Structure 1
Amino acid sequence: MQEHINISPSLMTMDLDQFKEQITFLNEHADSFHIDIMDGHFVPNLSLSPWFIEQTRKLSDLPMSAHLMVEDPAFWTQQLIDIRCEIICLPAERINGIAYRLIDQIHEAGLQAGVVLNPETPIRQILPYIDLLDKVTVMTVDPGFAGQRFLSGMLDKIRELRELREKNGYHYTIEMDGSTNKEHWKAIHDAGPDVYIIGRSGLFSLTDDIESSWQQMTEEFEEATGVVFA
């Protein structure tokens, strides 16, 4: 059986000394790019920025999906709208009271709005506006750092989101983020996300060059799942 596996490489984990080489290759093989934007307050780390998205666009025409891990999502949302970031994923924990306004603002700009659920955040928190969302991202690790422990219980959120979508006719895609690698491919695939975010352990650290790393990643997926990567 062959199946298209929608891959969104997490550029926070790429080798910046191979920036041009890796982006150029992935532009022909991935489906989108995942851009982590951290402010050092929502999570104790700093990461990428709207400027990084603009630099990546010089080499790629893939959609950019920004994952906001910030205390002030309204500030960053406007910056991402200004540079026409295709998908803006808001932190569910920081948008209570402004969710409708931010989602409408993104949609009025002709862009897609998503929400990210951290491990401790239940799906019920986003139910008031879930029908408006284009994407829901399920964190299967604690946010803010690469290489965190995989939280297998979070896969149940993916299954629940699929059931909600089917039952109610919602249109969001379901994305998972965290420890997407050889050890967890089968469990993740069985849960059934639409988009797989893949980072250091599953792609960028496998070999010294991106082409052979991508080949190894696809072979590991096929071995774990029995599904031919397409």
Structure 2
Amino acid sequence: MVKISPSLMCMDISKFEEQINCLNQTVDYYHIDIMDGHYVSNMTLSPWFIEQLKDHTETPLDAHLMVTNPIEYVDQLLDLGVEVISIHAEYLNGHAFRLSETIKQRGKKMGVVLNPETPLTIITDYLHLIDIVTVMTVDPGFAGQTFISESLDKVRKLNAYREEHQLAFEIQIDGSCNEKTYHTMIEAGADILIVGTSGLFNLDDSIEKSVELMQGHILAAAQTK
């Protein structure tokens, strides 16, 4: 089965403990969007949120840095025990080899994020260092956007590149992961789906029912791959 990573910027913060306690039993990662209002115009979660979350879960955390100076966050996030640090390719270039050594010395994973317009060629020189490649199927920064189907071509190319070069990175999709798109995402080669409003949190008022519905949608999509 494909792995699941809920985007916690989409959760109901007023029901934080209830939702986290339920999700802890079923998900593989938590996706934490950190935005500074500069790289993208929105502002959401922060390292402070991660510090609070760690008291409620042992699920691995994936910090997605949508900030203008992501390198400055790395040591703080490692100290907080974040499992994956995901940086947009435009900012990772020029730092990838050094950061990979720093992150992996702490036993953690390095991720790279590709915007819809970012070509795969920009990361191929250091793709062997990457643990998770996140392909954005929406523009970064806001929930509830229209799915950009052209991004799936990038997923297919990554899948083929991984097989050709015998690499082990996982392919993660961020954006409009829901019942309408699961099948094509899994078919293209996605290993991890980041689910948000349309894929999880808005399916039902009950988080338990929402998880049940999400799992059914994904199972149905995987069976028709």
TM range (shorter): over 0.9
User: More displaced, 219-228 or 11-20?
Assistant: 219-228
- Are 2:56 and 1:39 aligned? no
Determine the structure 2 residue equivalent to 1:95.
Answer: 92
Out of 210, 218, 222, the position equivalent to 1:221 is 218
Out of 80, 83, 92, the position equivalent to 1:83 is 80
Q: Provide the rounded CA distance (Å) in 2 between the counterparts of 1:161 and 1:224.
A: 21
Unmatched 5+ stretches in structure 1: none
Which one-letter code corresponds to 2:175 in the other structure?
A: G
Q: Aligned residues: percent identity? A: 49
Q: Provide the rounded CA distance (Å) in 2 between the counterparts of 1:168 and 1:150.
A: 29
Question: Shift in Å at residue 222 of structure 1?
Answer: 3.8
Out of 56, 60, 65, the position equivalent to 2:57 is 60
Q: Provide the rounded CA distance (Å) in 2 between the counterparts of 1:185 and 1:136.
A: 18
Determine the structure 1 residue equivalent to 2:122.
Answer: 125
Q: Provide the rounded CA distance (Å) in 2 between the counterparts of 1:159 and 1:139.
A: 13
Q: How does 1:1-230 map to 2 (within 5 A)?
A: 4-226=1-223
Question: Shift in Å at residue 163 of structure 1?
Answer: 0.9
Which one-letter code corresponds to 2:20 in the other structure?
A: I
Q: Provide the rounded CA distance (Å) in 1 between the counterparts of 2:150 and 2:11.
A: 27
Q: Provide the rounded CA distance (Å) in 1 between the counterparts of 2:65 and 2:118.
A: 15
What's the TM-score, normalizing by structure 2? 0.95
Aligned length: 225
Deviations 1:147-194 (A, max 9, x none): 111001111111111111111111211100100112212211211211
Q: Provide the rounded CA distance (Å) in 2 between the counterparts of 1:124 and 1:112.
A: 21
Question: Shift in Å at residue 221 of structure 1?
Answer: 2.9
User: More displaced, 76-85 or 17-26?
Assistant: 76-85
Question: Shift in Å at residue 224 of structure 1?
Answer: 4.4
Unmatched 5+ stretches in structure 2: none
SS of structure 2 residue aligned to 1:120: coil
Q: Provide the rounded CA distance (Å) in 2 between the counterparts of 1:155 and 1:27.
A: 29
What's the TM-score, normalizing by structure 1? 0.93
SS of structure 1 residue aligned to 2:34: strand
Q: Provide the rounded CA distance (Å) in 2 between the counterparts of 1:190 and 1:224.
A: 9
